[in-house]
Amino acid sequence: MAVTKPRVRDEITICPIEGEAVLYDPSGSHLHYLNHSAALVLDLCDGSVTMKEMAGEIADVYEMRVDEVEKQVRKTVRELRARKLLVPTTRREADEAARAAESARTAIDEREEIRIHVTRSS
């Protein structure tokens, strides 16, 4: 089985602020806030390291046990995946992401239409 190396989707804008982060996802215009530990994991999601390696790096810096950190890293990566911030790793996730992007585009188009034609609230 191939080992997953999580990577943030290219379209996501990341604004790191004092150890935390605010992210903008153009598909659906979603905003995300990440606390210190989630931002730390996200920062390592560049597609070059596995979750185990991430845990090793963090454990080194913070002088913690690797197995404890790895649990937390896996949980955070699951959360980032659930928020669709990472590049999909399965066909199913990829299809879902494509559908979400398409429906976001349509929703924005529809919103524009509504704003043009319906100035009175019904």
Nearer to other proteins, 1 or 116 (CB): 116
Number of alpha carbons in the 13 Å side-chain half-sphere of residue 1? 5
Helix axes 66-82, 51-62, angle to 10 degrees: 130
H or E stretch including 94? helix 91-117
Calpha distance 31→6 (Å, rounded): 20
Nearer to other proteins, 91 or 120 (CB): 120
Binding pattern to other proteins, positions 13-52, x when CB under 8 A?
Answer: x-x-xx-xxx-x-x--x-xxxx------------------
100 binds other proteins (CB under 8 A): no
**Six-digit token pair at 118?**
């319906």
101 binds other proteins (CB under 8 A): no
Calpha distance 12→111 (Å, rounded): 22
Nearer to other proteins, 22 or 66 (CB): 22
Residues that bind other proteins (CB under 8 A): 12-13, 15, 17-18, 20-22, 24, 26, 29, 31-34, 108, 111-112, 115-116, 119-121
